[in-house]
Chain A
Amino acid sequence: MPSSVYSKDNLRLLKKNLRSFWDIYRQNTMGLIGLCILCFFTLLAFLGPRLVDVTTYVVDGVTQTMHPPVSGYWLGTDNLGRDILAGVVIGTQVSLLVGVAAATISMTIGTVIGIVAGFYGKLADKLLMRFTDVFLVIPWLPLVLAMAALLGPSLGNIIFVIGITSWAGTARIIRSQTLSVKERPYVERARAIGSSGTHIMLRHILPNVFPLIYANTILVAAIAILSETTLSFLGMGDPTRISWGMMLHYAYEMGAVISRAWWWLLPPGICVVLVVLGFTFIGFALDEVLNPKLRRRDR
């Protein structure tokens, strides 16, 4: 059976589906802007270190410290004479990595809990949803700060902490979709021919809740990037890695506000805002494209 999934007909169907998806997506201005922003930052993350000399983000004791932007140092230097443009370029990788990795963890946990709760119902549903509600009501930042402080500062821990605390919303959405999918005739048919619960969940329910997962994951990625910035700013960041949040942390701690070093405070913050907007725009656009109910609803 698995080989037939990649048969010529299926590939043609996939191509056709992607085409019609793109035809709807590109009419969405917001989605296109978001896509452009994210493409720019993805390119910056991969090609930036080749285009911009990132070795200038070092303490060499020669470069003038706290210097406003000049030619050669287009975004100025920080209190140790490090090139801020180079820092922003290096930071792109860390911020995108945290966003994608944390969102993946959160999506996996949320999907599993949502599908299992929705599919099995009864006691499993009650227990899992009670647990989810607790996660929804606990104030997020204090929880994450406490966990990050206890685990110690490292990039892996930050990703882990953000990932395992932000799945509750996803789980709720996936559960309600599962509840509707499991009533459909093909699920009943699968049950009738004796398919196991795991098989039904993987083969019949998962593919049908996937559209929701895409949009939700992208919105979670936006929140994860904001969270990394906040955690790093509050001193829970990985001191061996440079992210936009760490740059802002150092800037604030080293008195960039009093020194009027706007070139140190603005660029990392603007990058965060742009990337978060990019992810959010794409998330909203996907939601609209994949949920026909939302499409062009004119009230």
Chain B
Amino acid sequence: MNMRLYLLSKFSQAVVTIFIVLIINFFLFRVMPGDPVRVLIRSPRISAETLARLRERFGLDESLLTQFWVYLRDLFTLDLGSSFNYRQPVLDVILERVPATLLLVGTATLLSIVLGISLGVLLAWKRGTRIDVGGLALSLILYAMPTFWVGIIMLMVFAVYWNIFPLWGMGVPGAIYQTFWAELLSRLHHLFLPVLTFTLILVGEYALIMRSSLLEVLHEDYMLTARAKGVSATELLRRHALPNALLPMVTLIAINLGFIIGGAIQIETVFSWPGLGRLMFSALTDRDYPVLQGLFLFITICVILANLGADIIYRYIDPRVKA
């Protein structure tokens, strides 16, 4: 299959997926039990007349098909409705919080990839030894821990008992920093615990995948050839094994994005980090449905696009797929 055809098929697949997600999003918030107006307006003592007027205003007296059409039209003009709580357009509320999440998720993902790959290489290289068994056990235990719980324990140990890291937030509220370095230091200070928690949660899986991927490559025939040619152990690992073993990691990171988002929701909630995850949590507790619906759509489309990106990158870096 040539490149253009491949791209076209991947693109059309992503478009179909996004369309299905749009349908799910539409029905989720309309067909689920409970009249949307009843859900939106939380007062039980609302007159039938007001109810009818509200239904008309939200277009709920129209047929489902018309409603779906209006919903699509609004989406294409980037109108996601407005938040009950913030009295602002939902899109503005969401975009405002993207940088905080990107900072947290980006730092943690980068750190856990580097650490996970190194750890995986170490475990594969020391296969069968005590280090390997210990590393495997640790990865499994970390996998079994609820993300938010790890965060809570971190908070209790580092922010309460030892009191060396702040309890919450992205900076000291209302603080005016004298120098750039003072601000950077404060930000890093606040970033440390959430990133540490996030990295702990992610690193185990990356290490396990890297370990098995490298073990698989190490038993390929071309490894034997390289060994027979007298290539040194480190050279063998660096030049021949690693580049091939790293390939599955690209796909894994993209597939993992949904899981990472789940982690962000929990960690941002525990550490009161002002990002998308925290927004989702507060939208849930305040029953701010327009924000919830908008966030769900925004996050899902981001994940679909990231997967598409990974597919394309994979195709570029692995010459074997092109065949």
Contact = CB atoms under 8 A, between A and B. Distances in A.
Interface of A: 130-131, 133-134, 137-143, 145-147, 149-152, 222, 226, 229-230, 233-236, 245, 248, 252, 257-258, 260, 262, 265-266, 269, 272-273, 276-277, 280, 299
| Main SS at interface, chain B | helix
A135 to B, nearest CB: 9
28 contacts: A130-B16, A134-B24, A138-B258, A140-B258, A141-B262, A141-B265, A143-B300, A146-B292, A149-B292, A150-B39, A151-B32, A229-B149, A230-B266, A233-B149, A233-B266, A234-B148, A234-B266, A245-B146, A252-B148, A257-B152, A257-B160, A258-B167, A260-B156, A265-B152, A266-B153, A269-B146, A273-B141, A273-B146
Contacts of B144: 222, 226, 272-273, 276-277, 280
A138 B160 contact: no
B146 A230 contact: yes
B215 interface: yes
A59 B95 CA distance: 45
Contacts of B21: 134, 138
Contacts of B265: 141-142, 145, 234
A218 B284 CA distance: 30
B28 A147 contact: yes
Contact of A150 (B29, B145, B257): B29
B149 A269 contact: yes
Contacts of A265: 149, 152-153, 156
Interface string B66-91: 00000000000000000000000000
B173 interface: no
Contact of B160 (A130, A134, A258, A277): A258
> A-B pairs with the 3 shortest C-beta distances?
A141-B262, A139-B258, A276-B144
B321 to A, nearest CB: 19
Contacts of B140: 277, 280
A140 B281 contact: no
Contacts of A137: 17, 258, 300, 303-304, 307
A229 B281 CA distance: 15
A142 B280 CA distance: 8
Interface residues of B, number: 54
B259 interface: yes
B131 interface: no
A131 B85 CA distance: 34
| Main SS at interface, chain A | helix
Nearest to A143: B296
B219 interface: yes
Contact of A142 (B39, B287, B299): B299
Contacts, number: 140
Contact of B147 (A152, A230, A252): A230
Nearest to B143: A280
Nearest to B148: A233
Nearest to B34: A150
Contacts of A245: 146
Contacts of B33: 150-152
B269 A142 contact: no
A139 B262 contact: yes
Contacts of B20: 130-131, 134
Given A150-B34, A229-B149, A235-B284, 5 more contacts: A130-B20, A146-B29, A233-B266, A252-B270, A262-B156
A299 B212 CA distance: 11
A83 B153 CA distance: 21
Contact of A133 (B17, B28, B161, B167): B17
A139 B303 contact: yes
A139 B266 contact: no
Given A139-B299, A139-B303, A145-B284, A150 B149 contact: no
Contacts of B280: 142, 145
Contacts of B296: 142-143, 146
A272 B266 CA distance: 16
A152 B24 CA distance: 18
Contacts of A226: 144, 146
Given A139-B300, A236-B284, A252-B270, A260 B148 contact: no
B285 interface: yes
Question: Which of A133, A150, A226 has the most CB atoms of chain B within a 10 A radius of its CB?
Answer: A150
B203 interface: no
Contacts of B249: none
Contact of A149 (B24, B257, B287): B287
Contact of B281 (A147, A234, A272, A276): A234
A142 B295 contact: yes
A160 to B, nearest CB: 12
